């Protein structure tokens, strides 16, 4: 089957790429599970925006400091400067960010941000953004969306990429989708971990495929652990208690009810403090007290969290809730240039599966939706400038995905040991 562009992944990265490709391109978007089973739907806290020139230096510095100064400065600059345009595009798509009575944006704050610069929609900003993007893409006459279809390999002659081979999850049938340009937008790697906030289907398949084909990855051991997810003995995805809860005043307390850390330090620092406290207390969790936020603000800003806690038997208005760190975000990924191109010609990577260096060693809260959108758009514009002629070359692929998880985990371990 021939297309002009094949995009693997239907989160914000994949959808925004499709939206910025030329309108006459025939586009295919694959998704491993249903179209709403992407981490983009789960984002709670919000999306950053550079509020004006007055905030440039501080926002830049906050991003760098959170990333331990290992960030790519040019990528950070690109992201900050593109942010207002991206937000305008989202608003044009119908995304409703919280506004005050005069109609001005309301900004919230999360850990390691020195000032409020995060736009949000209640505590389900990702769902608000992604459902609008999905609606828009569904209305585009040139895009075919194919859910429940798993990429098993890229099509390549060993030098360039000419599409993907993918398996229909129901029938098991493998089909080759050929295209002169392919975009990997397959998200994070949480499915490799026992405790993660991510969808279980996100297992770093693109990374395994790139490793098989010798396409370089970067910083695969840069994995962010979120300090506060709701403690549960159940298996499966962990429920995130967004950082903006702490940004609005919630405090972390130990077994005896005493506050033990500054809740707004970068995520890795707070995670470390919680782990040490759990050890001291000999407990599988610490507790988060949301009551300092105030009932009204809790109700209007965090309705999803209130509901989920209720389902698990906790009343956030009356008691602290148990929280524990869990795998949350992947800063590393497929190495890409500033137009999101991988080392293999005709192959791009965007969103969490890619690494353009924006986040350095640790992501600043609410920078990832923005980063995905900014660099997805750059990939689309770059593809739009290239020829869409599909050369007639014979390609091969492998259908075995059994080893994917093992391949990625081994690479992470290798990189971790290299860093030690
Ligand atoms: C609980 C939670 C809260 C978050 N909160 C925030 C926040 O407040 N602000 C913020 O900026 N970021 C937040 N993030 C991070 C952010 O949501 C993600 O980084 C971002 O949405 C990633 O987008 P993406 O398009 O790269 O991947 P995703 O949205 O995860 O999409 C990945 C897509 O790839 C598909 N896929 C994967 N493998 C295959 C395969 N082999 N074949 C076919 N398809 C495949 C999946 O089916 C899916 O459609 C949060 C993340 C989580 C988990």
Q: What is the pLDDT of residues 300-357, one digit of tens each?
A: 999 999 999 999 999 999 999 999 999 999 999 999 999 999 999 999 999 999 999 9
3-state secondary structure of 58: helix
What pLDDT was estimated at residue 284?
Answer: 93
What pLDDT was estimated at residue 222?
Answer: 96
- Per-residue pLDDT for 268 more than 90? no
Q: How confident is the model at residue 244 (pLDDT cuts 50, 70, 90)?
A: confident
- The pTM score is 0.93
Q: Are 342 and 348 in contact (CB under 8 A)?
A: yes
Ligand 1 centre from 297 Cα, in Å? 28
- Per-residue pLDDT for 381 more than 90? yes
Q: How confident is the model at residue 110 (pLDDT cuts 50, 70, 90)?
A: confident
Q: Are residues 317 and 409 part of one domain? A: no
* C-alpha span between 355 and 335 (Å, rounded): 5
* C-alpha span between 206 and 193 (Å, rounded): 17
Q: Are residues 341 and 205 part of one domain? A: yes
Q: Are residues 356 and 253 part of one domain? A: no
Ligand 1 centre from 391 Cα, in Å? 32
* C-alpha span between 344 and 194 (Å, rounded): 32
Answer with the one of 327, 362, 389 that is the final residue of a domain: 327
Position in ligand 1 atom list of the atom nearest CA 166: 42
Domain with residue 266: its CATH number is: 3.90.700.10
Q: Which of 237, 267, 346, 363 is catalytic?
A: 267
Q: Are 398 and 212 in contact (CB under 8 A)?
A: yes
Which residue, chain included where needed, has tokens 């906030």?
Answer: 197
Q: Are residues 231 and 217 part of one domain? A: no
**Helix (DSSP H) and strand (DSSP E) numbers for the chain:** 11, 17
Position in ligand 1 atom list of the atom nearest CA 44: 8
Active site residue 267: yes
Which of 6, 9, 366 has most ligand 1 atoms within 8 Å of CB, for mutation?
Answer: 9
Answer with the one of 327, 344, 377 that is the final residue of a domain: 327
Look at the chain and report how many structural domains it folds into.
2
Answer with the one of 327, 348, 371 that is the final residue of a domain: 327
Q: What is the pLDDT of residues 20-73, one digit of tens each?
A: 999 999 999 999 999 999 999 999 889 999 999 999 999 999 999 999 999 999
Q: How confident is the model at residue 111 (pLDDT cuts 50, 70, 90)?
A: confident
Q: Are residues 409 and 290 part of one domain? A: no
Which residue in 94, 132, 118 sits closest to 16, CA to CA?
132
Question: 313: domain range?
Answer: 227-327
Q: Helix 12-19 and helix 368-385: axis angle, to 10°?
A: 40
Nearest-CA residue for ligand 1 atom 36 is: 186
Ligand 1 centre from 189 Cα, in Å? 9
Domain with residue 171: its CATH number is: 3.50.50.60
Q: Are residues 135 and 207 part of one domain? A: yes
Q: Are residues 233 and 360 part of one domain? A: no
Position in ligand 1 atom list of the atom nearest CA 205: 41
Q: How confident is the model at residue 172 (pLDDT cuts 50, 70, 90)?
A: very high
Which residue, chain included where needed, has tokens 């390609």?
Answer: 395
What pLDDT was estimated at residue 235?
Answer: 80
Q: What is the pLDDT of residues 147-168, one digit of tens each?
A: 999 999 999 999 999 999 999 9
Ligand 1 centre from 17 Cα, in Å? 14
Q: Are residues 82 and 22 part of one domain? A: yes
Q: Are residues 296 and 168 part of one domain? A: no
Q: Are residues 335 and 302 part of one domain? A: no
Nearest-CA residue for ligand 1 atom 50 is: 43
Q: Are residues 207 and 96 part of one domain? A: yes
Position in ligand 1 atom list of the atom nearest CA 33: 47
């Amino acid at each position: 089957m021939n297309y002009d562009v094949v995009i693997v992944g239907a989160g914000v990265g994949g959808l925004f790429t499709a939206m910025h490709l030329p309108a006459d391109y025939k586009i295919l978007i694959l998704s491993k599970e249903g179209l709403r089973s992407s981490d983009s739907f789960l984002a709670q806290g919000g999306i950053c925006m550079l509020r004006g020139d007055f905030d440039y230096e501080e926002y830049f510095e906050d991003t760098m400091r959170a990333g331990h100064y290992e960030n790519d400065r040019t990528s950070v600059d690109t992201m900050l400067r593109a942010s207002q345009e991206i937000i305008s595009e989202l608003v044009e798509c119908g995304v409703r960010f919280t506004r005050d009575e005069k109609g001005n944006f309301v900004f919230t704050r999360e850990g390691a941000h020195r000032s409020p610069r995060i736009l949000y929609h209640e505590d389900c900003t990702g769902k608000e953004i992604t459902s609008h993007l999905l609606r828009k893409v569904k209305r585009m006459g040139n895009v075919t969306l194919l859910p429940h279809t798993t990429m098993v390999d890229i099509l390549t002659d060993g030098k360039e990429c000419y599409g993907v081979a993918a398996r229909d999850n129901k029938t098991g049938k493998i089909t080759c989708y050929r295209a002169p340009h392919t975009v990997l937008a397959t998200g994070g790697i949480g499915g490799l971990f026992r405790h993660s906030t991510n969808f279980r289907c996100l297992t770093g398949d693109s990374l395994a495929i790139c490793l098989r084909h010798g396409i370089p990855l970067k910083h695969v051991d840069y994995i962010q652990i979120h300090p506060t997810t709701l403690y549960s003995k159940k298996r499966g995805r962990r429920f995130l208690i967004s950082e903006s809860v702490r940004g609005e005043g919630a405090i972390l307390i130990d077994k005896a009810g005493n506050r033990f850390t500054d809740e707004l330090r970068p995520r890795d620092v707070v995670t470390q403090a919680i782990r040490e406290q759990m050890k001291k207390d000999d407990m599988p969790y610490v507790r988060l007290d949301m009551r300092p936020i105030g009932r009204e603000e809790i109700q209007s800003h965090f309705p999803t969290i209130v509901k989920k806690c209720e389902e698990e038997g906790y009343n956030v208005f009356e008691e602290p809730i148990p929280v524990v760190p869990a795998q949350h975000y992947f800063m590393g990924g497929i190495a890409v240039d500033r137009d999101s191109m991988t080392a293999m010609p005709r192959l791009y990577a965007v969103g969490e599966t890619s690494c353009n260096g924006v986040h350095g060693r640790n992501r600043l809260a609410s920078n990832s939706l923005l980063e995905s959108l900014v660099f997805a758009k750059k990939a689309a514009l770059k593809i739009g400038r290239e020829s869409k002629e599909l050369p007639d070359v014979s390609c091969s692929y492998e259908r075995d995905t059994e080893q994917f998880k093992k391949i990625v985990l081994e690479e992470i371990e290798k990189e971790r040991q290299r860093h030690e």
